[in-house]
Chains A and B, each alone.
Chain A
Amino acid sequence: MRFYLKYLVLALVLIVPTAWAEPLRVVASFSILGDLVKNVGGEDVTVTTLVGPDGDAHVFEATPADAKAVGNANLVVVNGLGFEGWIDRLIKAANYKGTVVVASQGIPPRQLKEEEAEHAKDSHGQDKHEGHGHGLITDPHAWQDLANGQRYVANITAALAKADPAHAEAYQRRGEAYLAQLKETDQWVRGQLAAVPAVKRKVITSHDAFGYFGAAYGVQFLAPVGWSTESEPSAKDVANLVRQIKQAGVRALFVENMSDPRLLKRIADEAGGVVGGTLYSDALAPAGKPGDSYLGMFRHNVPALAAAMAKN
């Protein structure tokens, strides 16, 4: 017995320090948060991202592997503002008892009107929109404003430092450096958009994710009238969109998630619009492509927006 005990003590002495040196296991709910955590955490954390690049966090279905990752995590980072409706169930199912960091903590939330309804009124007068409710919903896409991004980074830095005090200093150092990059990018975005006259800063987009971006940087995002990304468009939908583009004098079109990319091309040709390409809003691009990081997303989106708006 004593013989075994000796080995047991030896084993503990050997194992425990390595266990402490193991990086903090952090689960981030979606790819943009994952990138923020990696930038602050560096080599002191391993990040698991639940909704990966090009994934849609609105309709995410957790797999058993996701539940396992959450169950084993030291820290879970979520966006909040109602973005991840599924996270509470997942945390409960995974029996995770640790801290859940809400990265958007402290950001004044923006209310999102049913943009369709709002726009249908001002472009057609009487043409009121039918069906959906007119209620206000909280816009969760706060990260599209780099000032909010800085708040995210501050929240994540504080949470990491608290969860892993041994490396608090390293988190602080990397957090500061990353914040400086965010500030620099913020200035760059303003510079890029300043090149476009204020009256031309209008874009028609099917993304509902640019409310914070538009408010922060003075760009008007119009929703395509009556456009639903889910169903097959009717001739009336297409006709309305063509009329809207002509009336608003907007040529910059970023309408995605269409059942058929040829349709957008057709609409642009008919209305004299310009198809602006891909905007990343809710998810990053796969690694190696432009837009595969939080800052890379701005570096990709902003020139695309500026180039298309310059043609308005």
Chain B
Amino acid sequence: MNVLFDWLIHPFLEFSFMRRALVACLALGLGCGPVGVLLVLRRMSLVGDAMSHAVLPGAAIGFLVAGFSLTAMSVGGFVAGLVVALLAGLVTRFTEQREDASFAVFYLISLALGVLIVSTRGSNVDLLHVLFGTILAVDDVSLLLVASIASVTLLSLAVIYRPLIVECFDPEFLRSVQAHGAVYHLLFLMLLVLNLVAGFQALGTLMAVGLMMLPAAAARFWTQQVWTMAAVATGIAVLSGYVGLLLSYHGNLPSGPAIILTAGVIYVVSIVLGSQDGLRGRFLRSRHLQA
């Protein structure tokens, strides 16, 4: 019992940076869970990845203007992400181009711009390192930011939930009963960018998408209800954070990848054991039919 306590709980009691990292995971999971689930349902899983790159030039400009300021980099990242989302959305709505293509185009332009800006500022503070972030460094300000974004996300989703779901499954129907279907789509994209900005404070841009998409994709194997799925995704995200941090602590592994790989393992387990459309159902059923 004591050994278990030492392994599972004591690191969090001894070190406040471990507690903060865990709380950051909880806040991130609360925001990213539902957003990730909606991305999966809307078949926009890769848009999250694209948007995470789109944030880069804004954060870089924020860094150039205000130095190492969390506020400036967050605001910059948010604005850049939003511009890319808006442009891609506009192109999709008003031309024949499909959404995946327009997102790919604008995020690539944005990424190249970001790398360009980072490179011109070739000082010893490597901005790319900053953008990779580490959850062990989360301070009060970033924690507040991440928690606020999670709250805003949950409240906004509660408000626009119904039209958003309708738009997910039948955009034509929504257009026929309500004029502003695109507004919900844009609001949702805004929430996506917000959550990515929260994620890059804690995990860096690349890992943030991982905590958004992997738990959501795994949750798909456990339930079919959208809200339940979001709750399961949040649970998986928090569990990944907890296990990942313990792995990083006991196994001397970098924390960001440890967390995301834990989520990856949970995803694989969900594929095999999940109650909805998982491998378990398929193989059990086939055996049942044979017998």
Beta-carbon nearest neighbor of A256 in chain B = B124
Majority-rule SS of A interface residues: helix
Q: B161 on the interface (CB 8 Å rule)?
A: no
Beta-carbon nearest neighbor of B129 in chain A = A259
Is A235 a contact partner of B21 (Cβ separation < 8 A)?
yes
Within 115-138 of B, Cβ neighbours of A (below 8 Å) are at: 123-125, 129-130, 132-134, 136-138
Q: List 17 A-B contacts (CB under 8 A).
A: A54-B123, A232-B255, A232-B257, A234-B248, A235-B17, A235-B249, A237-B252, A239-B18, A242-B15, A259-B129, A259-B130, A259-B132, A259-B134, A260-B137, A261-B125, A266-B17, A266-B138
Is A239 a contact partner of B14 (Cβ separation < 8 A)?
yes
Q: A89 on the interface (CB 8 Å rule)?
A: no
1/0 contact string of A212-236 vs chain B (CB within 8 Å): 0000000000000010000111111
Q: How far is the CB of A130 from chain B (nearest CB, A)?
A: 9
Bound: A266/B143 CA distance, A: 13
Can you add 17 more A-B contacts, CB < 8 Å, to A236-B252, A242-B15, A260-B134?
A: A54-B124, A232-B132, A232-B255, A233-B134, A234-B248, A234-B254, A235-B245, A235-B255, A236-B248, A236-B249, A236-B250, A239-B11, A242-B17, A259-B130, A259-B134, A262-B138, A269-B139
Bound: A22/B262 CA distance, A: 67
Is A235 a contact partner of B137 (Cβ separation < 8 A)?
no
Chain A, interface residues (CB within 8 Å), range: 20 to 34
Is A233 a contact partner of B124 (Cβ separation < 8 A)?
no
Q: How far is the CB of B175 from chain A (nearest CB, A)?
A: 46
Is B252 a contact partner of A266 (Cβ separation < 8 A)?
no
Chain B interface, number of residues (Cβ within 8 angstroms): 34
Q: Which residues of A contact B (CB under 8 A)?
A: 54, 226, 231-239, 242, 259-263, 265-267, 269-270
Bound: A270/B129 CA distance, A: 22
Residues of A within 8 A of B257 (CB): 232
Residues of A within 8 A of B133 (CB): 260
Is B249 a contact partner of A234 (Cβ separation < 8 A)?
yes
